[in-house]
Amino acid sequence: TTRMASTFNNKKTVIFGASSGIGAAVAKRFAALGAEVIVHYNGNKAGAESVVQAIKDSGGKAHLLAGDVSQAEVAERLVNEAAAKLGRLDIVINNAGNMFGRTAISKATDEQYHNVIDLNIGGVFFACRRAAAILQEQKSGTIINTTSVAARTGGGDGAGLYGAAKGFVSTITRVLAKELAPFGVRVNAVAPGVIETDFHRKNSTPEQLAGAIKGIPLGRLGTSEECVGAFEFLADESMSGYITGQVIEVNGGQLMP
């Protein structure tokens, strides 16, 4: 099948946290549009390999990249490896995140604190720090961070530590948008609501999800595929060239800021 001419043709893309869920769906879509995609994972090798295989099977270009972005030196190396492999970086998506269980702040352990902060804040900060330097030098490219509805609501049922960390992600998105704008680089974020992914299969009970649906005007959970359009829109400068420092909420109306 011939591809439609696309602004994504040969766009060099790295997606951190792309082995399942939203990251995997974004990787497949961008590759289908003609982007060359690096699929990053940390723990879920089988998931990442199946994403790369699915992309290659449908005629797209994809590569695997493994490592723990929550460690500063690893994150820097991964961004460098991605840039070296692709020749440049057009689109950097920071989607690696996890809740590490639900707990009230008063009951949170030191271990949970470090897990949540290291990955959800550290992973984004370390990857952005290195990517920002590269994009600045290129004078081109765009960064899209994955935040969460919990960044604005404080989360529910023990998701507060995660929500607070995502508040950092939303804010550093605005910081980077200001810092990188003079170099022609845009930085935005997507804030998913309650999306049916492994993330919730691990962290949420059926009762919690049923409760969440009651507060969602569209009356159902979202899918990973339904988040993809926001990333595509933000990555495509022909559509969003004058948009930077924004958070797009994809939540079925659960929160209308």
Encode pLDDT of 221-239 as tens digits: 999 999 999 999 999 999 9
- Between CA 28 and CA 34, with CA 144 as vertex, the angle to 5 degrees is 35
What's residue 4's pLDDT?
A: 55
CA atoms 79, 37, 28, 183: torsion sign? positive
Catalytic residues: 162
Instruction: Report DSSP state, residue 222.
Output: B
3-state secondary structure of 225: helix
Query: What pLDDT is stored for residue 5 in this prediction?
Result: 61
The parts of the chain modelled with pLDDT lower than 50 are 1
Q: Say if CB 39 and CB 85 are below 8 A apart.
A: no
Q: What's the confidence (pLDDT) of residue 1?
A: 46
Q: Quote the pLDDT of residue 203.
A: 85
Report helix, strand or coil for 94: strand
Q: Which two three-digit tokens encode residue 126?
A: 């370390």
Q: How far apart are the C-alpha atoms of 256 and 10, rounded to whole Å?
A: 36
Quick one: which of 224, 221, 243, 225 has its CA closest to 234? 243
8 contacts 29 by C-beta, under 8 angstroms: no
214-223 pLDDT per residue, tens: 999 999 999 9
Helix (H) or strand (E) holding 66: strand 61-66
> Residue 61's pLDDT is what?
98
Q: Where are the alpha helices (DSSP H) in the chain?
A: 21-32, 45-57, 72-86, 110-116, 124-138, 150-153, 160-180, 198-203, 206-214, 224-235, 237-240
Look-up of token digits 């030191």: 110
Q: Measured between alpha carbons, how far is 94 from 37 in angstroms, rounded to an integer?
A: 13
